[in-house]
A and B are shown apart, each in its own frame.
Chain A
Amino acid sequence: MELFDNLALGFSTAFTLTNLFYCLIGTILGTAVGVLPGLGPLATIAMLLPATFALPPVTALIMLSGIYYGAQYGGSTTAILVNLPGESSSIVTALDGYAMARNGEAGKALATAALGSFFAGCAATLLLALFAPPLAVVALTFGPAEYFSLMVLGLVASVVLANGSVLKAVGMIVLGLLLGLIGLDVNSGIPRFTFGMPQLYDGVNFVVVAMGVFGLGEIIHNLEQGAARSIISRKIGELMPTRADLKRIVAPVLRGTFLGSALGILPGGGAMLASFAAYALEKKVSPNRAQFGKGAIEGVAAPEAANNAGAQTSFVPMLTLGIPSNPVMALMVGAMVIQGIQPGPAVLTEQPTLFWGIVASMWIGNVFLVLLNLPLIGLWARMIMVPYHYLFPTILVFCAIGVFSLSNSTFDIVLMVGFGFFGYLCAKLGMEPAPMLLGFIIGPMMEEYLRRALLLSRSDPMVFLQRPISAAMLAIAALLLVLVLLPSLQKKRAEAFQE
């Protein structure tokens, strides 16, 4: 079979000593920058790019991809341990992961994240190997109308994230949408909500908001509790999931992998929604849905699987069409060009060693990541036994350096402090920040796609219903909305009857 020939070629490429070495370096580095909040894979890859000029193209790309998916992996560690999501994809992991850590199940949460990611990474890599070219075509069927409907679906799903009042969650989403609009309007070039500050022209960086609201806000909230929270958790608990736990996460991981793989293929921001979508889905279908937000293991397994699967399949449009789906992929395209390779459909036929070598290395990289991270779990889990009064200044240092390094600007830190204050206020008022961050990510894309779709359809709103994929997604969104609102309406009625 051709696939086996191809995979054999890939593995024979990836299994050379040099390539294995650089794959390992890439995954270690990726994990490290993923763990450190603020410093993302983009900056790391940009910094390391010159160092890869001297390497053969396959080796260079193997290392750079390792950094990318390694960072997705490392991001979950800080999210679980100290509630700091350094990447948009780890926001939802923090919801139940941090709750698990506080229950003394940090080790189990980390292991679940690692195993879920590993499975998803392997499955998505196989998918990549089997169907990359046909999947690429799917990416092109998504126009502005489809993306807008996808964003609507994502927005409705984000209501599900809330644990408390649905109304407040919707308010936070809308507030997030508004925050996302800060900056130059793409269509008109007019700055909006910038108060004349050019530093805001490109909008507020996600990391600034997350570090402020989650990092600083949470620290103040914890300090306020004083001695009651002198450490995050007093016990380490079991490090590995039990057989019963594994049984619980099989279905969520499978669903997460599927959702993540599908969304990762879409270049227009699909991968960003992967972990949210997986979490929302689990919270609706899981038999343990009541536990979500309080440390449900499914709430860690599903989004982590989705996130990693999405990270792998987001290579599809880049490798097969030459279309980068995010800034990191754009940088990879640049790296390929420097190496004298033009990304596009020709890569598959003209550079089979490169294509299959990268695919095979992804699988090897996932093995490395699991081997690397499982032994570290004990160490990480012990970290939260460190007394909180030593831990919180450390977290502050990493937040501050991470945010400063985004664009070497004091302004970002001041902004983070502002969001920190707001985050504290939210914690006091029972306003959940996670839906706000999702709104913040979706907001600008949603407006952009909406306006673009209407421009291209010459102002015909029917375009969203005439295109089948778009219409289907809107229908699902409507259904989901009913499902979300029903329980709270019923509760209201129950309350009314009681009185």
Chain B
Amino acid sequence: MNSKAPGRIAGSKDLWSGLIFIAFGLLAMALARGYAMGHAGRMGPGYFPTALGGVLACIGLVLIVQAVLSSGEVITGFAWRKAALVLVASGLFGVTVEGLGLAPSTALLVMISGLASEQFRLWRFLALAVGLSAFSVLTFITLLSLPIPAFGPWLGF
């Protein structure tokens, strides 16, 4: 107990979990104010969310108390760059798949997310990108006939 420096609390997993729960709980309760509450016997659309939000916020509060009282695990560093690359690559796929078509979007997704790996080698990943594009066109368009173009209107198709 006595070995806890303030920095330990600030980086505590329980503390931040608690804060997240409180944030979501309060958000749910705040939004639910716009919906009719009703009462226990005849619940309106706001009843259940308000109750759940309250429970969630309470759980968050207990977690924070726990974090302050006992030494829990500490968060290790975030890999922001890798996270951003993976997330942006995936999002970009969604934005481009209809315009560029499945094949180029798949290749883009592979190349950009590949940058998140230390083992990224341009030519190998290009080969992977081409292979996966071909595979997905074959599987999803030729075999499963999903309504997505292989090459989209932005490329003049």
Interface residues of A (CB under 8 A from B): 33, 36, 39, 44, 47, 165, 167-168, 170-171, 174-175, 177-178, 181, 185, 187-188, 190, 192-193, 216, 219-220, 223-224, 226-227, 230, 387-390, 392-394, 396-397, 399-401, 403-405, 408, 410-414, 416-417, 420-421, 424-425, 428-431, 447, 450-451, 454-455, 459-461, 499
Contact with A along B51-88 (1 / 0, CB 8 A): 01101100110110010000001011011001100110
Out of B45, B95, B109, name the residue touching A188 (CB < 8 Å).
B45
Contacts of B40 in A (CB 8 A): 461
Closest beta carbon of chain A to B110's beta carbon, Å:
4
CA distance A405 to B148 in the complex (A): 9
Closest beta carbon of chain B to A85's beta carbon, Å:
18
The reply to whether B17 and A168 form a contact with Cβ atoms under 8 Å apart is yes
Closest beta carbon of chain B to A203's beta carbon, Å:
13
User: A216 with B63: in contact, given A174-B55, A401-B102, A424-B83 (CB under 8 Å)?
Assistant: no
Closest beta carbon of chain B to A27's beta carbon, Å:
16
List B residues 111-157 near A (Cβ within 8 Å): 113-114, 116-120, 125, 128-129, 132, 136, 139-140, 144-148
CA distance A33 to B83 in the complex (A): 28
CA distance A217 to B91 in the complex (A): 14
User: A47 with B49: in contact, given A220-B86, A412-B94, A417-B90 (CB under 8 Å)?
Assistant: no
CA distance A361 to B114 in the complex (A): 45
For residue B10, CB closer than 8 A to chain A, the reply is no
State the majority secondary structure of interface residues on A: helix
Out of A187, A459, A499, name the residue touching B41 (CB < 8 Å).
A459
The reply to whether A429 and B13 form a contact with Cβ atoms under 8 Å apart is yes
What is the chain A residue whose CB lies nearest that of B118? Answer: A226
The reply to whether B28 and A393 form a contact with Cβ atoms under 8 Å apart is no
Contacts of A227 in B (CB 8 A): 118
Contacts of A174 in B (CB 8 A): 21, 25, 52, 55-56, 59
For residue B1, CB closer than 8 A to chain A, the reply is yes
Contacts of B75 in A (CB 8 A): 428-429
Contacts of B90 in A (CB 8 A): 216, 396, 399-400, 413, 416-417, 420
The reply to whether B17 and A192 form a contact with Cβ atoms under 8 Å apart is no
From A171, A404, A412, residue with most partner B Cβ within 10 Å: A171
The reply to whether B145 and A417 form a contact with Cβ atoms under 8 Å apart is no
The reply to whether B98 and A393 form a contact with Cβ atoms under 8 Å apart is no
CA distance A77 to B110 in the complex (A): 23
The reply to whether B42 and A459 form a contact with Cβ atoms under 8 Å apart is yes
Out of A187, A396, A461, name the residue touching B89 (CB < 8 Å).
A396
Closest beta carbon of chain B to A151's beta carbon, Å:
12
User: A192 with B91: in contact, given A454-B42, A459-B41 (CB under 8 Å)?
Assistant: no
Contacts of A224 in B (CB 8 A): 78-79, 82-83
Contacts of A430 in B (CB 8 A): 13, 17, 73
CA distance A44 to B82 in the complex (A): 35
Contacts of A185 in B (CB 8 A): 35, 45
From B32, B52, B53, B140, residue with most partner A Cβ within 10 Å: B52
For the complex of A and B, list the 10 residue pairs with the smallest distance between their C-beta atoms, beginning with the closest.
A413-B94, A459-B41, A224-B79, A389-B117, A389-B119, A185-B45, A171-B59, A410-B94, A393-B110, A400-B93
Query: Once A and B bind, how many residue pairs between them come within 8 Å at the CB atom?
Result: 190
The reply to whether A410 and B98 form a contact with Cβ atoms under 8 Å apart is yes
Interface residues of B (CB under 8 A from A): 1, 13-14, 16-17, 20-21, 24-25, 28, 31-32, 35-36, 40-45, 48-49, 52-53, 55-56, 59-60, 62-63, 66, 73, 75-76, 78-79, 82-83, 86-87, 89-91, 93-95, 97-98, 102, 106, 109-110, 113-114, 116-120, 125, 128-129, 132, 136, 139-140, 144-148
CA distance A33 to B144 in the complex (A): 9
Out of A392, A414, A455, name the residue touching B91 (CB < 8 Å).
A414
From A223, A397, A399, residue with most partner B Cβ within 10 Å: A397
CA distance A459 to B41 in the complex (A): 4
User: A190 with B89: in contact, given A220-B83, A223-B82 (CB under 8 Å)?
Assistant: no
CA distance A392 to B118 in the complex (A): 13
The reply to whether A168 and B63 form a contact with Cβ atoms under 8 Å apart is yes
The reply to whether A393 and B59 form a contact with Cβ atoms under 8 Å apart is no
Q: List 16 A-B contacts (CB under 8 A).
A: A168-B17, A171-B17, A171-B56, A174-B21, A175-B56, A188-B44, A192-B49, A220-B86, A396-B90, A396-B113, A397-B132, A401-B136, A401-B146, A431-B17, A431-B20, A450-B43
Contacts of B55 in A (CB 8 A): 174
Contacts of B79 in A (CB 8 A): 220, 223-224
Contacts of A226 in B (CB 8 A): 118
The reply to whether B59 and A405 form a contact with Cβ atoms under 8 Å apart is no
The reply to whether B87 and A192 form a contact with Cβ atoms under 8 Å apart is no
User: A178 with B56: in contact, given A220-B83, A394-B132 (CB under 8 Å)?
Assistant: yes
What is the chain A residue whose CB lies nearest that of B55? Answer: A174
What is the chain B residue whose CB lies nearest that of A174? Answer: B56
Contacts of B45 in A (CB 8 A): 185, 187-188, 190, 192
CA distance A133 to B66 in the complex (A): 54
Out of A216, A230, A388, name the residue touching B86 (CB < 8 Å).
A216
Closest beta carbon of chain B to A437's beta carbon, Å:
16
Contacts of B94 in A (CB 8 A): 400, 403-404, 410-414, 416-417
CA distance A174 to B51 in the complex (A): 10
The reply to whether A389 and B87 form a contact with Cβ atoms under 8 Å apart is no
Contacts of B128 in A (CB 8 A): 390, 393-394
Contacts of A168 in B (CB 8 A): 14, 17, 63
